[in-house]
Each structure stands twice: as C-alpha cells, then as structure tokens.
Amino acid sequence: MPVYEPKDYEKVIERIQRKISERNIEMGESLKEEEILSFENRHNVKLPQAYRMFLQLVGNGCKRMLDGRRLNDLESCPQQELSKPFLLEKFWVWEDDERDGDAIEADMQNKVYRGNIELINLGCGMSYNLIVTGNYQGEVWNFTDVGVQPCCEPQDFLGWFELWLDNQNATNYFKDFVYNEADID
C-alpha cells in the first residue's frame, strides 16, 4: 500500500473503522478539532491530515491492538522537538557509521530526534514513528537503537495502520528494502 492521496482518506478510514469493529479493538476517544489545534499550537506544528482525520474519526490511540501492542494516544506519544524538521532523506544505520561518536550523536540529535512522534513501541529499542515535519511528513518510519529507515514501500499513517490491522507482526514493512552502501546517509 503506497502513501494514500487525500481524496482516498475517507474510504480508507471507513475500511479501518470496519476492521476495528470486526476485531473488537478498543480505541481511545476521538479528539475534537479544538483539542488537536491545542496540541499543534503548543508544539508549533501541523499534524499530517491523515493522522488528524484518524484522531477525529477513529480514535486517539487504543488500549491494545491484536498483537498485544498499544497505539499511543497523542498526548502520551514520546515527542522529539516536533517543530524542528526531520532531516533524514534515507535510512541511516549509525551503528555502522565509522565517524567519531560525538559527530554521530550530533547528527542523531540534529537530523533524527526531531519532527516525529512515536506511534507504537515494539520493545527492544524499536518503534514506529510518524514524521510530522520535513520532506517525509506524513510517512511512518522504523526507529531502532542502531538506526532508522522508512517503511518500504513508503507508508503514511493510514496505510501503516491498516497493514498492522490486517497482518499484525507478520507485516513486512521492509519487503522492498535493498541495502546499498551508496544509499547510507
């Protein structure tokens, strides 16, 4: 599933609502526009439209998903300096980076740990994060303790969530990922 077009959001949300109901997933209460605006104003950011619609029409997080994981609600999402742009353009495995540790840490702080919110914590240093600023705004990326990469094929929030509903941990978000030394950030 590629990143959806805004014209498709309502159809996708209807499908997601039906699947949530069929699977008896308990969602958090939906947010009102004023609540979302308040969050955006506090953090000086505009959330991606698909995620805003999800918060309003589907729910704000969930108690427990099918695989035992929990989708974070907006206020409890670990947030990384939201108003500053997420600057990565492609995957980066800092564990393989041969530069000085201070340089790596500086790049992590200045490129990675900003402009995104954690959607779900998988444990063992892994999470899926929604990029809210920068060139990849609206996409979901995989964060680990050794690096970060986009889901392949690219997934916006709605595509990522629907795949999760359909396949849980069996989802292969990286099926099209090809490691190439020239691609390293």
Segments of the chain scoring below 50 in pLDDT: 1, 181, 184-185
Distances (CA, A) of 86 to 69, 130, 136: 25, 10, 8
| Per-residue model confidence (pLDDT) at position 171 | 63
Model pLDDT, residue 184: 46
| pLDDT of the residue at 93 | 79
**pLDDT at residue 2, rounded to an integer:** 53
Query: What are the C-alpha distances in Å from 185 to residues 121, 124, 181?
Result: 24, 24, 9
Per-residue 3-state assignment (H helix, E strand, C coil) for the chain:
CCCCCHHHHHHHHHHHHHHHHHCCCCECCCCCHHHHHHHHHHHCCCCCHHHHHHHHHCCCCECCCCCCCCCCCHHHCCEECCCCCCCCCCCEEHHHCCCCHHHHHHHHHHHHCCCEEEEEEEECCEEEEEECCCCCCCEEEEECCCEEEECECCCEHHHHHHHHHHHHHHCCCECCCCCCHHHCC
Residue 24, by phi and psi: left (phi above 0), alpha (psi -120 to 50) or beta? left
What pLDDT, in 10s, does the model give residues 51-100? Answer: 999 999 999 998 777 667 789 999 887 666 899 999 888 877 778 888 88
Which residue do the tokens 């899926």 mark?
128
For residue 98, the model assigns a pLDDT of: 83
Identify the CA nearest to 143 among candidates 77, 83, 99, 84.
Answer: 77
